[in-house]
Homo-oligomer: A and B are copies of this chain.
Amino acid sequence: MAEAAQTISDHIHKMLDDLTRAERQLALSVLENYPASGLGPLTALAKDADVSVPTVARMVQKLGYKGYPEFQAALREELKAKVKTPIAKHDTWAEAAPSGHILNRFTEAVIENIRLTLGQIDPTAFDHACDLIADVDRHLFIVGGRITHTLAEYLFLHMQVVRPHVTHVQSTSNTWPHYLLNAKEGDVFVIFDVRRYENNTLKLAELAHERGAKIILITDQWRSPVHQLATVCLSNRIVVPSAWDSATTTMLLLETMISSVQTLNWTQTKARIEGLEDMFDQTKLFRKFT
């Protein structure tokens, strides 16, 4: 086997001197568009480098691999590792804890979730969702399920500050049909639904959709069935080393959305926040600092 510590391309560079002319020509061709060319069939590589098939086979073994497939596997491994951003393979996050400690394992998983979630998000769709939520001419309904209702409430709390006409609906409660009576065309529903997807939520979404409301769905990577009715669907990776799924990534997306909406409605928000601050000062519910 080849050494582990370094990349394969480094390894090839080091070996360059020990290679013969044709082999060197081949090696340089591999490095030319690395690593793509090494991932194709041996024959193609040989033709590409303008060397013969046995030369490839010989060189690969000279590099220390048992065969071409093993070489390819190594390249794939390296590629896999490379795609993860440098920050993601920060092996220990809690430096004082061993790398196997749950603090590090969990954090690593969440960072990976964030990377994958953000990597696949469509900024246009995201912006569109924010525009809809920021539009005060539309009534805003926020719908959460059994677990997600905490996230829904978090959004609700902030939207209350940013704009009027916000309603928090719990899909698990019996009261939601009443809210729906008030929903009219063009209104916006932000619906949270992660596995296990809730039948109530789906029904609510269907009714909302029938009434011509826009639906913004916040779900997981497997996507709630609601997504077929949704104007915008934002999906999150939620898998972590735990018996439950993680809401952290969703929280991040949510807060980003809040921040964005807040900016869109800034003049309104500013006035409302100041009003709130005054009230806090008067009620002395909060302390100013420390």
Binding site for B on A (CB under 8 A): 9, 13, 16-17, 24, 28, 31-37, 39-40, 72-73, 76-77, 79-80, 83-85, 87, 90, 93-97, 101-104, 106-107, 110-111, 114-116, 118-123, 126, 146-147, 150-151, 153-154, 157-158, 172, 195-200, 202, 221-223, 225, 228, 240-244, 246-248, 251-252, 255-256, 258-260, 262-263, 269, 273, 280, 284-290
Contact = CB atoms under 8 A, between A and B. Distances in A.
26 contacts: A9-B120, A28-B221, A87-B115, A90-B115, A94-B119, A97-B126, A102-B260, A103-B118, A103-B126, A106-B252, A107-B252, A111-B114, A146-B157, A150-B151, A150-B153, A153-B153, A154-B247, A172-B285, A196-B287, A197-B286, A199-B284, A200-B285, A240-B255, A244-B258, A244-B259, A246-B255
Nearest to A198: B286
Given A96-B122, A157-B150, A196 B40 contact: no
A93 B84 CA distance: 11
A280 B247 CA distance: 21
Contacts of A28: 221-222
A101 to B, nearest CB: 6
Contacts of A241: 259
The binding surface of chain A is classed by DSSP as helix
Contacts of A221: 28
Given A259-B240, A260-B102, A280-B196, A252 B36 contact: no
Contacts of A158: 244
A119 B93 contact: yes
A4 B27 CA distance: 30
